[in-house]
Amino acid sequence: MLTYLGMRFFSMVPTFLLASVLIFSFMHMMPGDPAGVMLGDSATPQQVQALREAMGFARPIPVQFLRWFTGIVRGDFGESIFFRKPVLQVILERAETSLLIAVLSMALIVVVGIPIGMISAVRYNSVADQTFSGASMLAASMPTFWLGLNLMLLFAVILGWLPSSGFPSVVENGNLANLKYLILPCVTLAAPNSALIIRLTRASMLDVLKEGYVTTARAKGLSEMAVTLKHVFRNSMISVISVIGFTFVGLASGTVITETVFSLPGVGRLVVESVLRRDYPVIQGVILIIAVAYMLVNLLIDCCYSFLDPRIRVS
């Protein structure tokens, strides 16, 4: 098990390297001089020259890459052009909101998506199954921002049950009641992603239901409940877990939208603002961190896999 984990961990290294090369070259694909682009049209040639010196743009590209890359390994992502602060600090200041949203939405997706998917598969083709299938298709076809605005209009403006925007930090003043600010954003974010999990749980359970060992389990007289939970559910979870990793990417994209809709001080909002301000170091930093997080999530999933299914460990 440990050797497997070690091997899996080291196989991440080339991917990480490739990801950083890609992200770095994105920035150097920009037409013209990066320093000039960053400062905008109003900058004087002296300012451009000064920034170019400061950022090391005058040196050869491989040298620049090495400098940037060794910085990242040490946790130094450079300095934000707009905030004039280290990128990592800027990102960490916004991390609380985004992490909370991601974790709570993920919990919501699992708690809602997997049981509904199970019911749909067990009651295949019933009215319930068709209703859930239709609803999840609809949820997957809805723009996140539109759903968010509608929920905001209904629950915050018309009914007045929940706050419409903003999020006072929970960590700073320890007030857990502030979590109510995240209810609408999390529901918005969870809806389209739950749809995916529902479809997947249903499909993989239907596949498992066709297996011979399920017939055997029934034939030896196990109750339907025991067959479903012990044999079908467990075996279908393997493919569902793999999709949860996939959902992570969807969540990261979705937070950009929900944080904008509900004016939350998160990393997603930071990216949009940085794009509008052309604050490239921040964009680079966020994307690289998210890519690394995605790799780690996948690593975790592979661990779950090999735990659930020992055959994978051997091959």
What does the alpha-carbon distance between residue 198 and residue 195 come to, in Å, rounded to a whole number? Answer: 5
Stretch that binds other proteins, among 58-66, 97-105, 216-224, 286-294 (CB under 8 A): 286-294
Residues 197, 240 contacting (CB under 8 angstroms) = yes
What does the alpha-carbon distance between residue 96 and residue 140 come to, in Å, rounded to a whole number? Answer: 27
In 3D space, the residue among 256, 255, 252, 208 whose CA is nearest the CA of residue 229 turns out to be 208
170 vs 203, which CB is nearer to other proteins?
203
- Residue 253's identity, in one-letter code, is S
222 vs 293, which CB is nearer to other proteins?
293
Measured CA to CA in angstroms, residue 63 lies from 58, 69, 160 at distances of 10, 10, 57
| Residue of 72, 151, 205, 256 interacting with other proteins (CB under 8 A) | 256
Q: Does 83 participate in binding other proteins (rule CB under 8 A)? A: no
Q: What is the DSSP letter of 141?
A: T
The answer for residues whose C-beta is within 8 angstroms of residue 287's C-beta and 6 or more apart is 23
Q: How many CB atoms lie within 10 A of CB 58?
A: 10
| Residue of 128, 214, 287, 301 interacting with other proteins (CB under 8 A) | 287
182 vs 271, which CB is nearer to other proteins?
271
Q: Does 146 participate in binding other proteins (rule CB under 8 A)? A: yes
How many residues touch other proteins under the rule CB under 8 A: the total is 54
Q: Does 137 participate in binding other proteins (rule CB under 8 A)? A: yes
Q: Which residues are near other proteins by CB under 8 A?
A: 14-15, 18-19, 22-23, 26-27, 29-30, 125, 130, 137-138, 140-146, 149-150, 152-153, 157, 196, 199, 203, 246, 249-250, 252-254, 256-257, 260-261, 271-272, 274-276, 278, 280, 283-284, 286-287, 290-291, 294-295
